[in-house]
């Protein structure tokens, strides 16, 4: 199908210095939680994006020198010429599909731990290092150090050119750059020509940009990634810097700082959220501008270009959730775009030193290891029919992929609506966009003729025998426990019959809430604090009690924790930390101090207790115990997937459903990479 001609401007080529992007779709630099720990996986992930139509595909940060060590976070390296061959596989892969290849060179200065090289971290002055609790301070750089960093940066640019990159970056964003630290008076109190005025503080950056241009500017475009509020949050100085350097870079990649601000979740901001900050740049510079804002809608992208906000549509998360966005727009298949939900599970990969996962795209970082392509599926291997019990994220994804493979599917869901926990949780404040997980899959299923969906259809083991389908996949989810067992309490502390105790399931089912509410959160993610918000909005007096040192520790990995705490405080929700649930008796709830100090007793109308979940696996066990009755009914296999197998995040449920469907009738033992960890490089 041809694309809507309205979108033609998105497919115009854009000249960037000496190179030309074939269209305006620009995958900005983003890390993968793997980098050189899994070079094949990283390369294939980028290649898939190039195949999906992105005009430019960039890498994550590539360290320019051993004094800029990300360790233990995965990253790329361009320290020496020996690094060229390894990194060259990425531009090669991108070029195979006509994309330009960009590399983001970086020296992270005060954010480096230098734990391997044991060289002191570098900074404009001696300060405690960033991103660490260790009492390490930087060395205040002398002139030789400054000269060395400048030369290392330019040498890394020369290596980037030799590796085949078309666009080479200097980076001053997220506070994670030595240039940023020189730019910021809060770090830079030098009295020499590298400190004081903005011109002086920008001197190292200018020298590097000009040096890069001289060294590689004949064939490579020089890009500059700059957060407009990078200079101690002062946008006026940010604007002055753009004015000052406007004629040097071939491309301005502009955003806001720090990383949690740049990659805000949908709970806190909507598509296009950076526009108000970065829109001025285009009126200052004469070279192309790329900017970001979790763009998934072609109309929003078009509007950015038409209104002169940017020339290239930058995307990190949208390109992770759907690497084929440009192709889908080009082919008039915009309804098939798998839109990012803004949950930042992807970011949690890098922050937990693990290959990136995505709630919407289960194939990400599995493109090489398992050979999964996000848009291509092997044809069915038999005429077997499959019954899926449960229409949550695992069941819907399983049905979606199986039906694309050509199998005949029946999906039965006990509740009136499909979507399981996602539909229920999306009703909480700020989580509406999570419904995209359901909508995308339901839309896809509705386009296919080989699937029958039965909501309001609770099935027992006998019903399933009557169905007589060859394979049964149980995806019945999990339920919050009523006995208080979790990470802190390993034995029951509640009887389950306390009249005023609810679980999150009860709340999502609309249970009545009375009087002051005490929410006890061992889950540590988003559920309890969104419930707290919802109840406070309704006028309830709400206290959140956590056994951890801070609320929602998991949300540190999605970079939302600070925002959540600030929001709860702004809503006058009381927070009690380091207290674990002991008992609930009548209208009192008792907590012990996790360190043995004084406990806490609160009076309540309703307690909401979220400790851990139990798989809803009784149907699976009943079926599994039927033995020959299964065979007599023609059932060849009974499986369980998702939360019903092991409660986890939504991304894990989607992945489990996807995997089951991919592996149906496939001998996975033929792919030895599937069940082994990623190969680790021997860099160190």
Ligand X SMILES: Cc1cc2nc3c(=O)[nH]c(=O)nc-3n(C[C@H](O)[C@H](O)[C@H](O)COP(=O)(O)O)c2cc1C
Q: Which residues bind ligand SF4 (CB under 6 A)?
A: 317, 320-321, 340-346, 358-360
- Residue 360 interaction partner, one of ligand X, ligand SF4, none, beta carbon < 5-8 Å per kind: ligand SF4
**Residue with token string 């049905």:** 399
The answer to whether 174 is a known catalytic residue is: yes
* The binder of ligand X chosen from 37, 68, 229, 263 (CB under 6 A): 263
Alpha helices (H) along 291-377? 298-306, 317-321, 325-330, 345-351
CA–CA distances in Å: residue 76 to residues 119, 227, 560 = 19, 22, 26
Q: Under the criterion CB under 6 A, does residue 557 sit at the interface with ligand X?
A: no
The answer to whether 343 is a known catalytic residue is: no
How far is 417 from 389, CA to CA, in rounded Å?
13
Positive or negative: CA dihedral 590, 592, 598, 600: negative
Catalytic residue among 26, 73, 169, 171: 171
The answer to whether 171 is a known catalytic residue is: yes
* The binder of ligand X chosen from 127, 317, 482, 640 (CB under 6 A): 317
Closest to ligand SF4 by CB, 311 or 322: 322
CA–CA distances in Å: residue 62 to residues 59, 68, 220 = 8, 10, 17
* The binder of ligand X chosen from 19, 45, 61, 202 (CB under 6 A): 61
Helix (DSSP H) and strand (DSSP E) numbers for the chain? 24, 28
Collapsing DSSP states into helix, strand and coil, what is residue 298?
A: helix
- Residue 121 interaction partner, one of ligand X, ligand SF4, none, beta carbon < 5-8 Å per kind: none
Shortest CB 345 distance to ligand SF4, Å: 4
Contact present, 210 and 138 (Cβ < 8 Å): no
Q: Which residues does 313 contact at the CB level (< 8 Å), separation at least 6?
A: 10, 24, 25, 26, 290, 295, 301, 304, 305
Q: Under the criterion CB under 6 A, does residue 31 sit at the interface with ligand X?
A: yes
Closest to ligand X by CB, 3 or 30: 30
Shortest CB 553 distance to ligand SF4, Å: 19
Catalytic residue among 26, 31, 220, 440: 31
Distance of CA 31 to the CA centre of its chain: 10
Map residues 10-29 to x or -, x wherever contact with ligand X holds by CB under 6 A.
------------------xx
Residues in 277-306 that interact with ligand X by CB under 6 A: 292-294
The answer to whether 590 is a known catalytic residue is: no
DSSP letters for 379-391: PPSS--EEEEE--
Q: Under the criterion CB under 6 A, does residue 173 sit at the interface with ligand X?
A: yes
How far is 164 from 153, CA to CA, in rounded Å?
17
What burial letters (b/e) apply to 83-113, b meaning 16+ CB within 10 Å? bbebbbbbbebbbebebbbbbbbbbbbbbbb
Closest to ligand SF4 by CB, 220 or 358: 358
Map residues 326-365 to x or -, x wherever contact with ligand X holds by CB under 6 A.
--------------------xx--x-----x---------
Catalytic residue among 83, 166, 253, 262: 262
Catalytic residue among 107, 153, 174, 368: 174
Closest to ligand X by CB, 63 or 350: 350
- Residue 28 interaction partner, one of ligand SF4, ligand X, none, beta carbon < 5-8 Å per kind: ligand X
**Residue with token string 């008992």:** 583
* The binder of ligand X chosen from 50, 130, 315, 459 (CB under 6 A): 315
Instruction: Enter the tokens of residue 336.
Output: 């098939």
Chain residues binding ligand X by CB under 6 A are 28-31, 60-61, 104, 173, 225, 255, 262-263, 292-294, 315-318, 346-347, 350, 356
Active site residues: 31, 171, 174, 262
């Amino acid at each position: 199908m041809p694309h809507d001609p309205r979108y033609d401007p998105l497919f115009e080529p854009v000249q960037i210095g000496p190179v030309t992007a074939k269209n305006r779709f620009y995958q900005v630099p983003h890390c993968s939680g793997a980098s050189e720990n899994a070079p094949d996986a990283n390369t294939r992930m980028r290649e898939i994006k190039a195949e999906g139509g992105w005009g430019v595909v960039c890498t994550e940060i590539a360290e320019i020198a051993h004094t800029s060590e990300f360790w233990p976070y995965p990253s790329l390296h361009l320290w020496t010429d020996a690094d060229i061959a390894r990194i060259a596989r990425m531009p090669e892969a991108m070029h195979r599909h006509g994309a330009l290849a960009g590399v983001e060179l970086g020296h992270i200065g005060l954010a480096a731990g230098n734990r391997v090289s044991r060289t002191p971290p570098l900074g404009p002055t001696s300060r405690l290092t960033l991103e660490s609790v260790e009492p390490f301070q930087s060395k205040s750089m002398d002139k030789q150090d400054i000269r060395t960093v400048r030369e290392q940066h330019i040498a890394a640019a020369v290596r980037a050119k030799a590796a085949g990159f078309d666009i080479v970056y200097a980076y001053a964003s997220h506070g994670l750059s030595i240039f940023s630290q020189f730019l910021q008076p809060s770090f830079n109190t030098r009295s020499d020509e590298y400190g004081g005025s903005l011109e002086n503080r920008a001197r190292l950056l200018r020298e590097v940009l000009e040096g890069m241009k001289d060294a590689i500017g004949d064939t490579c475009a020089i890009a500059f990634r700059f957060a407009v509020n990078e200079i101690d949050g002062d946008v006026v100085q940010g604007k002055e810097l753009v004015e000052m350097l406007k004629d040097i870079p071939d491309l301005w990649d502009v955003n806001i700082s720090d990383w949690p601000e740049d990659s805000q979740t949908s709970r806190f901001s909507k598509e296009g959220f950076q526009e108000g900050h970065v829109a001025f740049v285009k009126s200052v510079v004469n070279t192309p501008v790329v900017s970001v804002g979790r763009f998934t809608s072609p109309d929003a992208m078009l509007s950015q270009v038409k209104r002169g906000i940017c020339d290239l549509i930058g995307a990190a998360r949208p390109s992770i959730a759907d690497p084929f966005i440009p192709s889908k727009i080009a082919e008039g298949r915009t309804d098939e775009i798998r839109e990012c939900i803004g949950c930042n599970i992807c970011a949690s990969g890098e922050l937990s030193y693990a290959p990136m996962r995505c709630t919407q795209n289960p194939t990400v970082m599995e493109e090489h290891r398992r050979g999964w392509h996000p848009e291509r599926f092997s044809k069915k291997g038999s005429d077997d029919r499959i019954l899926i019990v449960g229409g949550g994220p695992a069941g819907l994804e399983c049905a979606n992929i199986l039906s694309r493979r050509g199998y005949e599917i029946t999906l039965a869901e006990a509740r009136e609506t499909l979507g399981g926990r996602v539909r229920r949780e999306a009703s909480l404040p700020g989580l509406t966009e999570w419904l995209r997980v359901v909508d995308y899959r339901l839309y896809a299923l509705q386009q296919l003729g080989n699937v029958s969906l039965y909501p309001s259809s609770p099935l027992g083991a006998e019903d399933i025998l009557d169905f007589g389908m060859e394979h049964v996949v149980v995806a019945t989810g999990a339920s919050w426990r009523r006995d208080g067992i979790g990470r802190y309490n390993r034995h029951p502390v509640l009887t389950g019959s306390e009249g005023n105790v609810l679980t999150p399931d009860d709340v999502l089912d609309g249970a009545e809430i009375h009087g002051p509410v005490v929410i006890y959160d061992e889950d540590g993610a988003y559920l309890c604090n969104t419930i707290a918000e919802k109840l406070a909005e309704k006028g309830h007096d709400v206290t959140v009690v956590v056994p951890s040192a801070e609320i929602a520790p998991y949300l540190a990995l999605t970079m939302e924790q600070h925002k959540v705490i600030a929001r709860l405080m702004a809503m006058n929700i009381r927070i009690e930390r380091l207290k674990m649930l002991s008992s609930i008796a009548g209208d009192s709830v008792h907590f012990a101090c996790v360190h043995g100090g004084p406990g806490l007793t609160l009076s309540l109308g309703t307690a909401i207790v979220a400790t851990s979940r139990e798989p809803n696996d009784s149907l699976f066990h009943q079926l599994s115990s039927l033995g020959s009755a299964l065979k007599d009914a023609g059932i060849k296999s009974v499986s369980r997937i998702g939360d019903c197998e092991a409660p986890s995040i939504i991304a894990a449920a989607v992945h489990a459903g996807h995997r089951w469907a991919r592996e149906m009738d496939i001998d996975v033992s033929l792919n030895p990479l599937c069940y082994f960890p990623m190969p680790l490089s021997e860099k160190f």
